[in-house]
Amino acid sequence: MKAGLVYDPIYLEHDTGDHVENSRRLVDAMSYLKETGIKEKLISLPARPALLQELEMIHAPEYISYVKSKAENGGGWLDPDTVMSPRSYEASLYAAGGVLVAVEAVMNGKVDDAFALVRPPGHHATHDRAMGFCIFNNVAIAARFALSKFNLNRVLIADFDVHHGNGTQDAFYADPEVLYFSTHQYPFYPGTGWMDETGTGEGEGTTVNFPMAAGWDDDEYLRAFNEVLVPVARRFQPQLILVSAGFDPHWADHLAMMKVTIAGFAQMATILKGLAAELCQGRLVFTLEGGYNLRVVASSIKATFDVLLGNSNMEDPLGKASVARKSEGFDEHIEAIKRTHRVS
């Protein structure tokens, strides 16, 4: 199995200081991949900067110019959560471009699947606004790129970050060519993503939100994937699967209140890999979104690569949360989502 790794040192030049979304997320992850021997088994895919016309498939030209000028003037805050340094614009170009490189490699058969370890993350960024640590919407740009360059007409984006990808949803809310599926803690930042947000116009039904109550764990996530994502994906028949991989639903991540484990992330990756093999010739691309416990992020990325490489001896160094909880109301919740999307 050929799994691709996209990484570039420019991602470390997006200097956010002591912000939770900082360069150590990638430094520690890359070190761990090397220490565990996984990195040498991967095919390195050098990143490139996204072109202006590629960014403009999702973002307003005026917004792109604003981000560039902000960096040229030394950086600063784009919104209360999102900060830039002098090289953040360049890093953001390479973040978006890195996911495009992964898509190209998968579509051209250079690799079977790939994981783009990029930053800044992207799924909150809207047409004309930075949000939630995100500057350009990497996965949305990649979806538009795949549709246009490779003459596709059905792309699935699966997003398991603990925060709803409002920017990704907005980009494709009226677009029947992109199926957006999201699991996320609700109510939580950014306040979007209830189950009745299903798309509009020709895109009606191609937005599938699975809001999660605080405290739900692997069991609920895997049921959401198996009982909702799998059937809607089979109905949609994607030609490529993109994944916004946020590891902040983990029980040890201090920014949220979910109870997912590293083994749970690996099981979600296994389901996605199986869907890609069944539906779209194995075409599968992960891109990094959130996750702020450094050990969790590094271990979860390694576990994801284990799945992509077909390694069966995946380890979970942190195990399950020590505090038990009850999953009250889940059965009724998932049945309501199934009814919304006509899933039996």
Q: What is the pLDDT along the chain (344 residues), one digit of tens a residue?
A: 899 999 999 999 999 999 999 999 999 999 999 999 999 999 999 999 999 999 999 999 999 999 999 999 999 999 999 999 999 999 999 999 999 999 999 999 999 999 999 999 999 999 999 999 999 999 999 999 999 999 999 999 999 999 999 999 999 999 999 999 999 999 999 999 999 999 999 999 999 999 999 999 999 999 999 999 999 999 999 999 999 999 999 999 999 999 999 999 999 999 999 999 999 999 999 999 999 999 999 999 999 999 999 998 888 999 998 876 667 899 999 999 999 999 98
CATH number at residue 210: 3.40.800.20
Radius of gyration from C-alpha coordinates of the chain: 18
User: For the CA atoms of 236, 162, 103, 171, what is the dihedral angle to 10 degrees?
Assistant: 70
Q: Of how many residues is the chain composed? A: 344
The answer to whether the beta carbons of residues 117 and 5 sit under 8 Å apart is yes
CB 294 within 8 A of CB 253: no
| 43 touches 3 (CB < 8 A) | yes
Residues 39 and 5 sit within 8 Å (Cβ to Cβ):
yes
How many independent structural domains does the chain possess? 1
Q: Are 8 and 47 in contact (CB under 8 A)?
A: yes
pTM, two decimals, is: 0.98
- Per the structure, the complete domain to which residue 321 belongs is given by 3-340
Check residue 50 and report its DSSP letter.
P
341 is catalytic: no
Q: Which residue among 14, 59, 123, 124 is the active-site one? A: 124
For 234, the token pair is: 């089979």
Q: Is residue 250 classed as helix, strand or coil in its secondary structure?
A: strand
Quote the Cα angle for 177-180-184, to 5°.
175
- With residues binned 3-state (H G I as helix, E B as strand, rest as coil), the percentages for the chain, rounded to 5, are 40, 15, 40
**CA nearest 137: which of 95, 194, 197?**
95
